[in-house]
Amino acid sequence: MKWLKNSMLGMVWWVVMTAASAGAADNPAHPKLTLVYDSPYGFEETLESLRNTIHAHNFRVFPDRYLEEGLTDEFSVNTRQVSVRFCNFSDLYEALQIEPQVGVVLPCTITVIEGEDGQVQLLTGNVQAMLTLFDNPKLTAAFQDMEDKYQAIIDEVTL
């Protein structure tokens, strides 16, 4: 069972890092799935600022999760990789009214990772990449609003 968890952890890490490093070859037809932003601040300061900024933008913040949580034993989890989960229920309701299947791709998570070199990064799903999964003009407008909110949060935390 432990090998399965470790294999899953490796796959998750590979997907995140592959998507993060794909930024050099942006292709509008196939936008990168993950957006990566450098933070000029330390890990704890970035994490606290992110939580406060999300809350200030009228999102409900849920308990954080370690990225590796459930994939390895609780004593081996890297506590410098934290996913901050959040939701604006009125935005969610609006999107679900337009396209019920959109619930499976909503990116309501920003992950804060501190590298071995001390560099702190924020990773989030690319709203534009998720939009390519649907052919719905009404959803395009709702996703643009969501993308604007995400970008405002990221900008406030990283500037």
Q: What angle do CA 39, 67, 72 make, to 5 degrees?
A: 145
86-135 pLDDT, tens digit each? 998 888 888 889 988 887 776 689 999 999 999 999 999 888 888 888 88
Longest dimension (CA), the chain: 47
pLDDT of residue 36: 96
Rounded Cα gap, residues 80 and 117, in angstroms: 12
Residue 16 scores a pLDDT above 50: no
Strand-pair partners of 39: 120
- pLDDT band for position 157 (50/70/90)? very high
Q: Which domains occur in the chain, in start order?
A: 2-22+33-158 (3.30.310.70)
Q: What is the DSSP string of 54-75?
A: HHHTT-EEPPPEETTBTTB-TT
